[in-house]
Amino acid sequence: MSLILIFLSSGLFLGWSLGANDAANIFGTAVGTKMLRFTTAAIVGSVFVIIGAVISGAGASHTLGKLGAVNAIAGSFTVAFSAAFTVFWMTKLKLPVSTSQAVVGAIIGWNFFAGKPTDASALTKIVTTWVVCPVLAAIFSFSLFFLIKFILKHSRISIIRHDSYTRIGLLFVGAFGAYSLGANNIANVMGVFIPVSPFPDINITSFITLSSVQLLFLLGAVAIAVGIFTYSKRVMMTVGNSIFKLSPTGAFIVVLSSSLVLFLFASSELQGWLVSHNLPGWPLVPVSSSQAVVGAVLGIGLAKSGRNIDFSVIGKIGMGWIATPVISGALSFVFLFIMQNLFMQPVFA
Partner 1 sequence: MSLFFNQTTQLEGDIESLLDDISNAVMIFSEAIKNYLKDETEIFLKRMQDVKKLESDVDELRREIRYKLYTKMLIPESRGDMLSMLETIDDVIDTTEEVLIQFEIQKPKIPKILNKDVIELVEASCKAADFTVMAARSYIKNNDMINDYINKTYFFEHEADKVENRIKRKLFSTNEIVSDLAEKMHISKFVELIAKLSDDGQDVCERLSVATIKRSI
The site for partner 1 (CB under 8 A) is made up of 33-35, 145, 148-149, 152-153, 156-164, 167-168, 247-250, 253, 300, 304
Shortest distance in whole angstroms from residue 35 CB to partner 1: 6
Which one, 160 or 279, has the nearer CB to partner 1?
Answer: 160
Nearer to partner 1, 81 or 252 (CB): 252
Q: Please, what is the minimum distance in Å from the beta carbon of residue 168 to partner 1?
A: 8
Q: How far is the CB of 99 from partner 1 (least distance, A)?
A: 30
Among residues 320, 230, 269, 282, the alpha carbon closest in space to that of 58 is found at 269
Residue 246 Cβ vs partner 1, minimum distance, rounded to whole Å: 9
Longest dimension (CA), the chain: 70
Alpha helices in the chain (DSSP H): 2-32, 38-56, 58-67, 73-92, 99-114, 120-155, 159-190, 212-238, 248-264, 268-276, 289-303, 312-341
Distance CA(344)–CA(74), nearest Å, equals 10
What residues does 202 pair with on adjacent strands? 210
Min dist. Cβ of residue 237 to partner 1 (A) = 14
| 41 touches 157 (CB < 8 A) | no
Residue nearer to partner 1 on the CB measure, 174 or 250: 250
Question: Minimum distance between the CB of residue 211 and partner 1, rounded to whole angstroms?
Answer: 36
d(CA 183, CA 117): 27
Question: What is the rounded distance in angstroms from the CA atom of residue 341 to the CA atom of residue 227?
Answer: 33
